[in-house]
């Protein structure tokens, strides 16, 4: 049964050769439009930004690990492709709570809660660092992040960070980005010293919260939940290039999570109030179409082979399964009385773990057929849970976007 809208927030398939061409065209268009914005002159970040060597424009963000397969930018994060950085990590699922202010840890083998850590504040997401050696619980209301050691599963000393509703990392790992939703800005930090490097105001992006990057890592698309649009950000020069309005601008629970297709041809944007997913072209210039999924469309997660995209419909109590390349709806899995929100798939790709935002639960589903394997009681307001360890070479943030 659908739930009422709560008062509080919120081996790769080979495609035709056109896929590589689409990616190349997308990169070219992004570079060509670097001076455009819907709101006048591009906004720039304060503080220094990485500078490229004079001469030819680099194909990718300077210092970013190279893309191994242009048909699937997630190819290095396939099933059980664990790097040395995570091999000693204790397998755990970290569940942050916005209401009870604690992080619970769950043993994924037994589905049993094995730890509870009272941190206070409003804990939003557990975010893997770029080098995948630390996990950070973000707390926007208390302006702090709390590091967790993945080897022990234990929290460390709090780190002051401005309004970290969510957190990402530049593709070279040299900057952490606090997505300061309430302040309408991105704050760049040195991820080792946590000294501020600079800020990028985003006044036209109310509710800035989720992001994903183009294949070359030079451009990020950030969703603006309370403005019904997406902001296109040049990560190299730290400027807002432009914003893209959704065909229907929902400004209460609008654009939420965003995920790039494996070949970079399009971006998928979940829109809670719209009850579906908007499709934006890979260059980040226009909305192409809409895919209806269900009320409260919120989180977007790829299968381990990047063939399928799982869309959590938080109000509908379901998960829609899309073809990650074409967007075709393949299935819909129902969680009776559920409110699936955020999470990730396991390292082997067999399970999808999701927080039940409004039901004090965590759900575990089979990625084969959507069978509900477990409903695990947790605290109040479970949100951006992190399944750890994850495959991949590096993390760009959120609950574990690895490439």
What pLDDT, in 10s, does the model give residues 137-182?
Answer: 999 999 999 999 999 999 999 999 999 999 999 999 999 999 999 9
The tokens for 103 are 């992080």
284 lies in a domain?
yes
Count of structural domains within the chain: 1
367 lies in a domain?
yes
Q: Note the pLDDT tens digit of each residue in 303-344.
A: 999 999 999 999 999 999 999 999 999 999 999 999 999 999
Instruction: Say what percent of the chain tops pLDDT 90.
Output: 85
For every residue of 57-87, DSSP letters joined together read PPSSSTTPPPPS-TT-TTGGG-TT---TTTT
Is residue 61 within 8 Å of 236, Cβ to Cβ?
yes
113 lies in a domain?
yes
Average pLDDT over residues 67-74: 97
Q: How far is CA 142 from the centre of its chain?
A: 22
Strand, coil or helix: 25 = helix
Q: State the DSSP H helix or E strand holding residue 342, giving kind and residue range, or none if neither.
A: strand 340-345
60 lies in a domain?
no
pLDDT for 49 = 47
pTM of the model: 0.88
Average pLDDT over residues 206-214: 98
pLDDT for 202 = 98
131 lies in a domain?
yes
Point out which residues pair with 354 in neighbouring strands: 343, 363
Question: The CATH number of the domain where 225 resides is what?
Answer: 2.130.10.10
Average pLDDT over residues 210-234: 99
Point out which residues pair with 57 in neighbouring strands: none
| Residue 56: pLDDT over 90 | no
Domain carrying residue 229: 73-402
Strand, coil or helix: 306 = coil
Point out which residues pair with 224 in neighbouring strands: 208, 229
Count of all residues that appear for the chain in the document: 403
On average, the pLDDT of the chain sits at 90
Strand, coil or helix: 28 = helix
pLDDT for 312 = 99
202 lies in a domain?
yes
268 lies in a domain?
yes
44 lies in a domain?
no
Cα separation of 119 and 97, whole Å? 10
| Residue 46: pLDDT over 80 | no
For residues 282, 287, 288 and 294, what is the CA-based torsion angle, rounded to 10 degrees? 110
């Amino acid at each position: 049964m659908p739930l009422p809208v709560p008062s509080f927030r919120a081996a790769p398939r080979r495609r035709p050769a056109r896929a590589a061409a689409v990616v190349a065209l997308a990169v070219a268009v992004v570079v060509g439009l670097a001076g455009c914005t819907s709101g006048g002159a591009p906004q720039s970040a304060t503080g220094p930004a990485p500078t490229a060597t004079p001469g030819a424009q680099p194909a990718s963000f300077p210092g970013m690990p190279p893309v191994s397969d242009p048909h699937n930018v997630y190819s290095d994060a396939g099933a059980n492709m664990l790097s040395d950085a995570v091999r000693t990590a204790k397998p755990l699922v970290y569940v942050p709570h916005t209401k009870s202010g604690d992080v619970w840890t769950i043993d994924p083998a037994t589905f049993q809660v094995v730890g509870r850590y009272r941190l206070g504040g409003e804990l939003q997401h557990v975010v893997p660092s770029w080098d995948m050696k630390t996990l950070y619980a973000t707390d926007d209301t208390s302006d702090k992040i709390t590091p967790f050691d993945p080897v022990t599963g234990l929290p460390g000393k709090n780190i002051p960070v401005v309004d970290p509703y969510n957190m990402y990392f530049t593709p070279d790992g040299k900057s952490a980005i606090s997505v300061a939703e309430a302040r309408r800005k991105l704050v760049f930090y040195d991820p080792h010293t946590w000294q501020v490097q600079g800020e990028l105001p985003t006044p036209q992006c109310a509710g800035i919260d989720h992001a994903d990057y183009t294949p070359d890592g030079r451009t990020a698309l950030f969703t603006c939940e309370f403005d019904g649009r997406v902001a296109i950000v040049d990560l190299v020069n730290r400027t807002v290039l432009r914003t893209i309005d959704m065909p229907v601008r929902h400004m209460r629970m609008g654009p939420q999570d965003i995920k790039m297709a494996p070949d970079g041809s399009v971006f998928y944007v979940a829109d809670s109030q719209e009850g579906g997913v908007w499709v934006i072209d890979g260059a980040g210039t226009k909305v192409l179409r809409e895919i209806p999924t269900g009320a409260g469309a919120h989180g977007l997660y790829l299968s381990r082979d990047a063939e399928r995209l799982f869309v959590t419909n938080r109000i509908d109590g379901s998960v829609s399964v899309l073809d990650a390349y074409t967007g075709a709806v393949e299935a819909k899995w129902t969680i009776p009385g559920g409110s699936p929100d955020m999470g990730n798939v396991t390292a082997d790709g067999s399970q999808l773990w999701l927080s039940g935002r409004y039901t004090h639960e965590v759900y575990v589903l089979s990625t084969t057929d959507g069978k509900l394997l477990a409903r695990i009681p947790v605290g109040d307001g479970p949100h951006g849970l992190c399944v750890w360890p994850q495959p991949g070479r590096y993390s760009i943030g959120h609950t574990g976007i690895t490439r």
